[in-house]
Amino acid sequence: MAMSRLLRLDGQNVSVVLEFALGQMPVWRHFGARLPDTLLLHAWPAARLQRLAPGTLDRLGGLPVLPCFGNGELGAPALRVHRAGLDAVQDLRATGFAQPDPQTLQLTLEDAVASISVQLFLHLCADSDVLSLHSVLHNTGSTPLTLDHLASATVPMPAALQELGSFHGQWSHEFQWTRQAVPQVGWQRDNRSGRSSHEAPPAVFVLASDAGEHTGEVVAAQLAWSGNHRFALDRADDGRLNLQAGEWFAPGEVQLAPGTSLATPLLHLGWSKAGLNGASARLQRYIRSQVLQWPGGRMRARPVHLNTWEAVYFDHQADVLFDLARAAASVGVERFVLDDGWFPARKDDRAGLGDWWPDPAKYPEGLGPLIAHVHSLGMEFGLWVEPEMVNPDSELFRAHPDWALQLAGRALVLGRNQLVLDLSRPEVSAYLFDKLHAVLAAHPIAYLKWDMNRIFAHAAGQDGRLAMRSQIPALYALLERLRAAHPQLEIETCASGGGRADLGMLRHTQRLWTSDNNDAVSRVAIQSGAARLFPLELMGSHVGPAPAHATGRSQSMAFRCAVACFGHMGVEADVRQLGEADRATLAHWIALHKSLREVLHSGRFSQGRTVDGVVWWLVQTAGQAVLGVFTVSPPNYSYQPGLRLPSLAGSGAWQARLLGSAGQARARGDAPDVWGDALRSGGGRVQGEELAQVGWPVPVMHPESALVYSFSSVPASEG
């Protein structure tokens, strides 16, 4: 038997250990807590620590780093390929490894009979402790290889992790969090919509049953991919639980020609013993330092937006937009985003997509005058586009009906009256680049809101093969080409709200439109979910109109503002129509947001929820913290226990102030508010340890109330 050795990657709190032998399939030995430098138990090969179970094959081993199909392994195969039905069994064996730096491992596996090789890459980020994995499959044979499945990675979950946290949703109801026990038969979720989706965004949390928001062992997983995907918690036949994630391929859509390769998207894993917040924080740190690519190399203060959509929809009238810009500037807006409706024939959603130049009827002198006006008011200008789409009623479609994905002999399937363009065709991407580049080159446009408003159907390319996957790299390439041509440009990823919010898009974009639902009560749940995945500075959160267009419900202006404050803040309401009091409230909260955004957009986020349904969001840096407390339903009890804030344990003394509030405390009119008054005036001092162990006192509040506090650390000499 070949001599085995251990390969390991170590972070500050995390270790990865693999058992490797030439000529064998490497196996996982550990992913989880940091292990000592010298390992003793691990010196025993995995196979020596077990005994053959009755009814099994005559061999033992651990979890293969790349489970294959057809050789007796009954766990979910990471790879399913064949050549017109042949070479359907794979038996990959290690032929080498490299550790180019202490944080990176590269394993090479080959199967000479099936004529394939795979490289598996593992990188443990020294700064964030996030483990990133991906695979590259090579067709070393002389005939085409059909790929039915190729996971980015298959990773054993620490034994105590038997619960699952995931997200579901639909339009205007994104990032709805659910937690459940992993069923005995395992769990699997496929997304086949062509975009990362409202229904099943590419992320899961796997957690111990005693884990909660702040304590317990948790693995957070996100796949950096914007198309179809599969997440599985595979309960192997021996009972072990493995996480497998990667793309989901449509039948026949991926074929590797001889000598070619396919690289999977990256799967990112954050392990923590500090609960859901701890695991989220790992990934968010990684996103900030490794995923985001800001123009100029660093994030600048996130400008407060005004988005025209819910104010005017498709009805673009110059005088209205000029007034709206004036009104927006007067409340402190810094970026005016002209949404859908600016290009020819776009009086509703039935026409125009594809014709990316200003509508001469609505904009007889082009966009220049409006942009100049916006600039004269001290704001940047942003523009909505939906480049991947075409309306049959458009000049583009009339000239190139074959550019839309479609299936010969089958009807065109419309969604919002539009079709998906085949971006993998060079002439299509070139057209889109040329048209968008022309608009961007003609005007100082700081920002594009990049929308995508339908799922795929009958989505085949010219050769009749389904072309859902090839769309995604072509989309990324188009975004990169535009960014290279316009290095200062920022882009927002939007797909009918938060239907394409993922780390694949966020490598090329700087903001995500969280939801078309601007109802602040709905937003508390939506933003709580999204904040498990993404740092607040990426999360578009707008003050919408009342009643909210998505729900018909109304909340006070202050409540809407308090919720929108915890994100990349913006306004979607028609500021022209606001009464004096609401306009002043909006201006006040925008100013407050600006004073807090440095903390909100760089600090560590954590969240909690009391038994009474009170939600809190805390963002902390070394010297500052901001706490938001929100109620959405009537209280069950007349006493509100203090909010325990575990992440402030041992953080020393803080000076606390109440900066903003919405709604009302539920108290007798004659009851003095001594604590509240103190926090509103000079403030009060607290120890971080008191906040962690005893809790921050908040009043019992009516539904749709909010309190926003700031904490400034007090130097030890003064504490």
Residues in contact with ligand DGJ by CB under 6 A are 309, 339-340, 384, 451, 453, 494, 496-497, 513, 516
Closest approach, Cβ 513 to ligand DGJ, in A, equals: 6
Q: What are the CA-CA distances from residue 655 to residues 440, 593, 594, 596 (Å)?
A: 47, 19, 20, 15
Q: What are the CA-CA distances from residue 471 to residues 149, 420, 459, 485, 507 (Å)?
A: 18, 10, 10, 21, 16
Of 384 and 431, the one with the shorter C-beta distance to ligand DGJ is 384
Catalytic: 234? no
SS (H, E, C) 72-105: CCCCCCCEEEEECCECCCCCCEEEEEEEEECCEE
Closest approach, Cβ 184 to ligand DGJ, in A, equals: 39
Of 504 and 570, the one with the shorter C-beta distance to ligand DGJ is 570
DSSP state of 718: T
Closest approach, Cβ 494 to ligand DGJ, in A, equals: 5
Of 249 and 384, the one with the shorter C-beta distance to ligand DGJ is 384
Residue 54: count of CB within 10 angstroms of its CB: 4
SS (H, E, C) 300-330: CCCCCEEECHHHHCCCCCHHHHHHHHHHHHH
Q: Please list the alpha-helical segments (H only) found in 444-494.
A: 471-485
Of 340 and 582, the one with the shorter C-beta distance to ligand DGJ is 340
Of 163 and 339, the one with the shorter C-beta distance to ligand DGJ is 339
Of 5 and 416, the one with the shorter C-beta distance to ligand DGJ is 416
Q: Which helix (H) or strand (E) holds 82?
A: strand 79-82
* Annotated catalytic residue, options 111, 129, 422, 516: 516
Q: How many helices (H) and strands (E) does the chain have?
A: 12, 36
How do 203-208 and 116-124 pair as beta strands?
A: unpaired
Of 114 and 311, the one with the shorter C-beta distance to ligand DGJ is 311
Closest approach, Cβ 384 to ligand DGJ, in A, equals: 5
SS3 of 218, please? strand
SS3 of 604, please? strand
**Token reading at 712:** 């400034």
CA 265/CA 151 separation, integer angstroms: 9
Closest approach, Cβ 605 to ligand DGJ, in A, equals: 24
CA 459/CA 466 separation, integer angstroms: 6
Catalytic: 582? no
Instruction: Find out whether 471 and 195 touch, Cβ atoms under 8 Å.
Output: no
Strands (E), 637-697: 653-662, 684-687
Residues 452, 352, 313: CA angle, nearest 5 degrees = 70
* Annotated catalytic residue, options 111, 234, 359, 451: 451
Closest approach, Cβ 171 to ligand DGJ, in A, equals: 8
Closest approach, Cβ 585 to ligand DGJ, in A, equals: 24
Residue with the CB atom nearest ligand DGJ in the bound state: 340
List all residues 6 or more positions away from 484 whose beta carbon is below 8 Å from its beta carbon: none
Half-sphere exposure of 170 (CA within 13 A, CB side): 1
**Token reading at 655:** 């000076």
Residues known to be catalytic:
451, 516
